């Protein structure tokens, strides 16, 4: 029988920019696109593309589901207009797609996840990317197998809609009070807390999708914890299990 007094019983992780260096693929794609068209500023293109993508993604969380690639493609289309790039975003987004198999976990991730598993907590990973991409990312965890992996493609809804978190917890048989949520994107953290989970905001010094979202915005609810890497999450778990 499970020890119902233990907390957390599981850690629920976002994937992109939390466990995996997703922003690397965006920067690489922006650099290749800038080189293709000659006059584009790669860093500025990356920043604007990311901002536009996030706008489409947040809106989609509360409207009809569309796959993440559509938001990425739409963001690139508008970024081309902003930067005066006369290219074909439907074709050029393939540059980004070709990089997804090369997205790696951040350096401390596997060690931290293995330590968290030894503490007796389950590890859940959920991503807004399509299933084939999150499966490719998770395959880079050097043999570590999470207890649950899911995607918005399967749930048919995007974070930060609280229905996403409900969808996951129904499938793993836990309640919000059992789980610690961890993400780098602020809006993921806000959605998780709205659903009733305690949350960790992971403020990585690198690997963010752009240079925004490094402080909480007016009206945001502060996270329960803030850390700079996954070892910080391990320390939170260790502390709470001793209480």
Could you give the CA distance from residue 217 to residue 166 in angstroms, rounded to a whole number? 25
State what percent of residues in the chain have pLDDT above 90.
79
In a domain, 167, yes or no: yes
Does a structural domain hold residue 173?
yes
Q: Are residues 38 and 83 in the same domain?
A: yes
- For the four alpha carbons of 178, 54, 76 and 103, in that order, the dihedral sign comes to negative
The answer as to whether 52 is a domain residue is yes
Q: Confidence band (pLDDT; 50, 70, 90) for 123?
A: very high
Q: Give CA–CA dist 66/152, Å, rounded.
A: 9
Q: Are residue 121 and residue 229 in the same domain, yes or no?
A: yes
State pLDDT tens for residues 182-240: 999 988 999 999 999 999 999 998 888 865 544 555 557 899 999 999 999 999 999 99
The alpha carbon torsion through 43, 44, 46, 50 (nearest 10 deg) reads 140
Task: Tell me which of 82, 102, 122 is where a domain ends.
Answer: 102
Q: Do residues 114 and 229 share a domain?
A: yes
Q: What are the angstrom distances between the C-alpha of 189 and each of 20, 115, 185? A: 17, 23, 7
Nearest to 16 by CA among 51, 64, 89, 68: 68
Question: Do 115 and 135 fall into the same domain?
Answer: yes
Residues 59 and 152 in one domain: no
One domain, residues 60 and 171: no
Picking from 98, 83, 89, the residue whose alpha carbon sits closest to that of residue 71 is: 89
The answer to whether residues 146 and 232 belong to one domain is yes
Per-residue pLDDT at 64: 83
* Residue with the larger pLDDT of the pair 106 and 1: 106
Report the CATH number that the domain containing residue 49 is assigned in CATH: 1.10.150.240
Residue range of the domain that includes 180? 10-21+103-242
Q: Taking a C-beta distance cutoff of 8 angstroms, is the pair 159, 191 a contact?
A: yes
Strands (E), the chain: 10-14, 122-127, 148-151, 179-183, 198-202, 225-227
Tell me how many domains the chain contains.
2
**Residue 5: band (very low, low, confident or very high) from pLDDT cuts 50, 70, 90:** low
Instruction: Tell me if 1 is assigned to some domain.
Output: no
Rounded Cα gap, residues 172 and 182, in angstroms: 17
14 in the same domain as 38 = no
In a domain, 109, yes or no: yes
Compute the distance between CA of residue 180 and CA of residue 178 in angstroms, rounded to an integer. Answer: 7
pTM score over 0.85 = yes
Which of 13, 10, 58, 6 lies closest to 201, judged by CA?
13
User: Does 221 fall in a domain?
Assistant: yes
Domain assignment of residue 4, yes or no? no
Please tell me the predicted confidence (pLDDT) of residue 211.
56
Each residue's pLDDT tens digit, 14-71: 999 999 999 999 999 999 999 999 877 999 999 999 999 988 888 888 888 888 889 9
The pLDDT of residue 213:
47
């Amino acid at each position: 029988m499970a020890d119902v007094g233990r907390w957390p019983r599981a850690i629920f992780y976002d994937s992109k920019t939390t466990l995996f260096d997703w922003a690397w693929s965006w920067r690489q794609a922006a650099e290749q696109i800038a080189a293709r068209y000659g006059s584009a500023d790669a860093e500025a293109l990356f920043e604007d593309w990311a901002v536009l993508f996030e706008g489409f993604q947040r809106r989609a969380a509360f409207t009809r589901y569309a796959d993440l690639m559509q938001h990425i493609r739409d963001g690139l289309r508008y970024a081309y207009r902003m930067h005066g790039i006369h290219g074909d975003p439907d074709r050029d987004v393939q540059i980004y797609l070709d990089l997804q198999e090369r997205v790696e976990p951040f350096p401390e991730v596997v060690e931290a996840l293995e330590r968290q598993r030894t503490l007796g907590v389950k590890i859940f990973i959920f991503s807004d990317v399509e299933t084939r991409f999150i499966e490719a990312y998770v395959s880079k965890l050097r043999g570590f197998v999470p207890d649950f992996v899911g995607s918005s493609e399967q749930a048919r809804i995007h974070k930060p809609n609280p229905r996403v978190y409900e969808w996951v917890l129904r499938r793993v048989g836990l309640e919000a009070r059992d789980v610690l949520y961890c993400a780098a994107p602020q809006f993921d953290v806000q959605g998780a807390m709205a659903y009733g989970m305690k949350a960790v905001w992971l403020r990585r010094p690198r690997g963010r999708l752009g240079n925004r979202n490094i402080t909480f915005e007016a009206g945001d609810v502060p996270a329960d914890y803030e850390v700079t890497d996954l070892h910080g999450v391990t320390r939170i778990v260790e502390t709470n299990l001793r209480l």
